[in-house]
Structures are given as structure tokens and as C-alpha cells.
Chains A and B, each alone.
Chain A
Amino acid sequence: SSELTQDPAVSVALGQTVRITCQGDSLRSHYASWYQQKPGQAPVLVIYGQNSRPSGIPDRFSGSGSGDTASFIITGARADDEADYYCHSRDSSGHHLLFGGGTKLTVL
């Protein structure tokens, strides 16, 4: 399969922990990355290689994965974490990039 599936929307109370999941067969052979996108802005890479953070990304953000599922976790959600989050990986050939449909995170 060449698809990545995400829940369309997730909500979290301020200060609580939230997990956003991404499912796809390609995740069995390729790590997931995660992007945060706010309205009118380009996506920002927040997790790569399943569980690594680029420079400048807070350690409240983390990633994990097992089998065909990858997870993005925010510990201690803040109001400015409200955004769309996309998982990203490659297809089985490794040459084609894939994106999940995105999860809209609401911080209550």
C-alpha cells in the first residue's frame, strides 16, 4: 500500500498529553517524520527518523513507532500547538514520498 492514514481531528486539554497516530504498510520499512502546519504558513519539520527532533524543536515533542503505526506525542500541550500535523514517509520503493491526510489538533 502507498497510503498513510491519520485521524482527521484530535483534541487535547491545555497542559495534557496527546498522541497523534499514522498508519501505513510503508511504515514497516521506512521511518515516519512529522510536520506542523499553521494556517498560511509552510510546514515545519518537528520529528524526523521516527523519534529525532531537528534543532530548535522543543522536547515536548516526541515520536515513536511499531510495526505499521507511527505516533507523534506532545507532552504538556500549549495553546500554540494548535495546528495541522502531517506524517510523512516513503513508499516501499523508497523513491516516492508519502504524506498522511493530516490531523487537526485543537487545544481546549
Chain B
Amino acid sequence: QVQLQQSGPGLVRPSQTLSLSCSASGVSVINGGYPWTWIRHHPGKGLEWIGHVYFRGNTYYNPSLKSRATISIDTSENQFSLELTSMTAADTAVYYCATGTGYSAPDSWGQGTLVTVSS
């Protein structure tokens, strides 16, 4: 059974960089057929795709983030990570890592990390 465990800070100062990690168990990050994905949920709003990375290294990002996001895979730790630069209050959200386990959409999700941007 695939499980994703997120780690990272719950509070980030404005203009700083958010760094989140997602550790996978039950699957190797180099074997997944579905990309390793980050999604966020703004309070009271809908889900927003941030981006994803395929195990071969191809990455795709939401254009609305204007190149602030970087997603990478760490094969030695069997995890993948998100960095989001120049954080503002508008980036306050619950951040999720996710992947697919055989379906054509993400069906395995991390527990979510509430990230608040505040000084």
C-alpha cells in the first residue's frame, strides 16, 4: 500500500522560500508510472495544481506560479520535494503531495500541511 508522509514548516515569513518534502513508502519514486505531484487548497477555495515531476526528471508547473516552484526527486531518500520562492500571504494554503497508484488520477495523498505566510 502506497503511503505518502509530508514534512515541512507550518509558518513561513513573507518573501522567504517554502520547502516541503514527501516521503513515499510502498513504492519507489523511480518506479512510479504516475508523476509525483504537489497540490494546494486555499482556505475556502478550490484545489490548485502546483506541478509534478516524472521519475525521469521531466517537470511541469502551473503557469500561474510564474516560475516560483521547483519540484525534485531524491532517490536516495525515496522522496520528492517542493520549493516555492517569494512566498506571500496569497500562498497560505494546505499543501498536499499526491500520486497515482494505477489509476489515471492521483489517488494516494499525503496528510496535508497547513502553511501560513505571516511575519
Residues of A at the B interface (CB closer than 8 Å) are 31, 33, 35, 37, 42-43, 45, 48-49, 52, 54, 86, 88, 95-102
Are A97 and B112 in touch, CB under 8 angstroms? Answer: no
Q: A86-B47, A97-B52, A100-B46 are in contact. Are A45 and B60 (CB under 8 A)?
A: no
> Residue A33 contacts which of B46, B96, B104 (CB distance < 8 angstroms)?
B104
The 4 closest A-B pairs by CB, nearest first: A33-B105, A97-B49, A42-B109, A45-B107
B59 shortest CB reach to chain A, Å: 10
Contacts of B111 in A (CB 8 A): 42
With A and B bound together, what is the CA distance between A6 and B104 in angstroms? 21
Contact of B62 with A by CB under 8 A: yes
Are A43 and B109 in touch, CB under 8 angstroms? Answer: yes
Contacts of A42 in B (CB 8 A): 96, 109-112
With A and B bound together, what is the CA distance between A49 and B46 in angstroms? 21
With A and B bound together, what is the CA distance between A95 and B48 in angstroms? 15
With A and B bound together, what is the CA distance between A99 and B47 in angstroms? 6
A92 shortest CB reach to chain B, Å: 13
Give 28 A-B contacts (CB < 8 Å), ordered by A residue.
A31-B104, A35-B47, A37-B47, A42-B109, A42-B110, A42-B111, A43-B109, A45-B105, A48-B104, A48-B107, A49-B103, A49-B105, A52-B103, A54-B103, A54-B107, A86-B46, A96-B49, A96-B60, A96-B62, A96-B63, A97-B37, A97-B52, A98-B49, A99-B49, A101-B45, A101-B46, A102-B46, A102-B47
- Contact digits for B92-108, partner A, Cβ 8 Å, 1 yes 0 no: 00001000000111110
Contacts of B60 in A (CB 8 A): 95-96
The residue in A45, A88, A100 that gathers the most chain B C-beta atoms within 10 A of its C-beta is: A45
Q: Of all chain B residues, which has the CB nearest A50?
A: B104
